[in-house]
Amino acid sequence: AHASCDASTCARTAGARPLDAAAEATLTTLLADLPRQYDGDLDWSIYAPDIVFDDPVTLLRGRLSYRGMLLTLRLLAAVATTSADFEVRSADRVAADVLRTMSGVDYFHLDEGGRVARHESQWDEPPAAVWAAVRGKRVE
């Protein structure tokens, strides 16, 4: 797996102001962590204690809740997939060995200290299609 940008390119692409050292370190860590989020532990020091996570089916607050949600996703990925390639988009092989592409965009908002304060995930597919893919079923 590979990242589609480095820390300075991602900042320029988003049209954001130049990154300070803390924000640059957080972005560099995110780019290293995301490709392996289903295989290993993340660097939790870059997340604010009261981080908010929001996707089409989940809204939660707090680092412990966020970590629990990611661990649950890791378990689901281990049970429901045989491989995962994570970039901006991911292609997962589901249990039925049917290639299913689930795509979307994740936004990571940083606080003044450069830590991730909010993680928003938007999916290109409706939630029912995503859950069906996790369960190894095809939704047309």
Residue 1 resides in a domain: no
Residue 86 resides in a domain: no
pLDDT in tens, 92-134: 433 444 445 567 888 999 999 999 999 998 888 888 877 776 6
Radius of gyration of the CA atoms of the chain, in A: 15
Please give the model's pTM, rounded to 2 decimal places.
Answer: 0.69
Cα 57 to the center of its chain, rounded Å = 14
Number of folded domains in the chain? 1
**Host domain of residue 35:** 21-81+105-136
Residue 87 resides in a domain: no
> Which residues are within 8 A (CB) of 56 and not within 5 positions of it... i.e. 6 or more apart?
121, 122, 123, 126, 127, 130
- For residue 28, the model assigns a pLDDT of 92
Residue 97 resides in a domain: no
Best mean pLDDT range from 8-22, 44-58, 95-109:
44-58
Position 86 confidence tier, pLDDT thresholds 50, 70, 90: very low
Residue 59 resides in a domain: yes
Question: Which CATH number characterizes residue 34's domain?
Answer: 3.10.450
CA distances (Å), 5 to each of 36, 102, 104, 107, in order? Answer: 16, 20, 16, 14
pLDDT over 80 (residue 138): no
